Amino acid sequence: MNYYIVIPAHNEEAFMQLTLDSLAAQTFLPKKAVIVNDNSTDATAEIVLAFAEKHPWVSLVNKTSGAIHLPGSKVIQAFQKGLDTLDGDYDFIIKGDADLIFPPIYFETIAKHFRSDAKIGMAGGFAYIEKNGEWTLENLTDKDHIRGAFKAYRKACFEQIGGLKPAMGWDTVDELLCKFYGWKVVTDESLKVKHLKPTGANYNREARYKQGEAFYSLGYGFLITSIASLKLAMRKGKPMLFLDYLNGFRKAKAARKPLLVTEEQARFIRNYRWKKMKEKLF
């Protein structure tokens, strides 16, 4: 199987080399790896260019965008910029981050999953962060969810869900649409990815409002949003985020912002979420 990986990067000089080194150490190398330098003011581009001289399967694409770090739209616009430079000759594609260390067998294992079942549409491992000198699970999501930092998509699935949405919530709606179209999502607990920069480290209050807006855009409705907001706030150890998320939902609803999904897909998503909650309760 052939695979491509696209990695958006903004001021990642502290981690970029480590990420690239872990790609080069893979037992199954990517056919192409595109690093999208999104308006960096540090040495990110220079690090990538120096690496690309020794590894011709790596390329650099430059993009200029705003300096404000809002999750979702900025990173996916950068991803799309990199994707536009690639052809369609791949079996699966990965959206990666520039602050990761992949275990050497990561992509070989991902390929094995895709080969094992033609209905697997997405696959991925788990993120680990360093605490007190030890690498521990970054426990922000359920174990059936793949983190947005390292998502792998089978080509047919990626095309059917319409690629990635340039909005907060892109790394949830992709999996929900995957299930809507009958694809399987597989997570592999043996694949431990070192996440060098904790999720949300640079998010401001406006970004936190965006999480509530994302819940609205997925068609959750107020009750599911309230439950999801409380759960996420508690997992992050910041209960007051619950209010930020609800405010974001309220603002998006008042502005009648468009959903990321159709009405049919929104109904499927709500039913799916209720089903998952009932399974956990009973």
Fold of 3-195: Spore Coat Polysaccharide Biosynthesis Protein SpsA; Chain A (3.90.550)
pLDDT given for residue 199 in this prediction: 65
The model's pTM: 0.90
Under 8 Å CB-to-CB from 182, ≥6 apart: which residues? 119
Show the low-confidence residues of the chain (pLDDT under 50).
201
pLDDT given for residue 67 in this prediction: 52
Instruction: List the helix and strand counts (H, then E) for the chain.
Output: 10, 9
Going by C-alpha positions, the residue among 83, 136, 122, 127 that lies closest to residue 102 is 127
Strand 92-96, strand 3-9: pairing: parallel
Domain range summary for the chain, segments of one domain joined by +? 3-195, 205-281
pLDDT given for residue 139 in this prediction: 78
pLDDT given for residue 70 in this prediction: 58
pLDDT given for residue 244 in this prediction: 93
pLDDT given for residue 200 in this prediction: 56
Using an 8 Å Cβ cutoff, are 4 and 93 in contact?
A: yes
pLDDT given for residue 69 in this prediction: 53
pLDDT tens-digit series, residues 160-206: 999 999 998 899 999 999 999 999 999 999 999 999 997 654 555 66
DSSP notation for 173-219: HHHHHHHHTT-EEEEEEEEEEEESS-TTTT--HHHHHHHHHHHHHTT
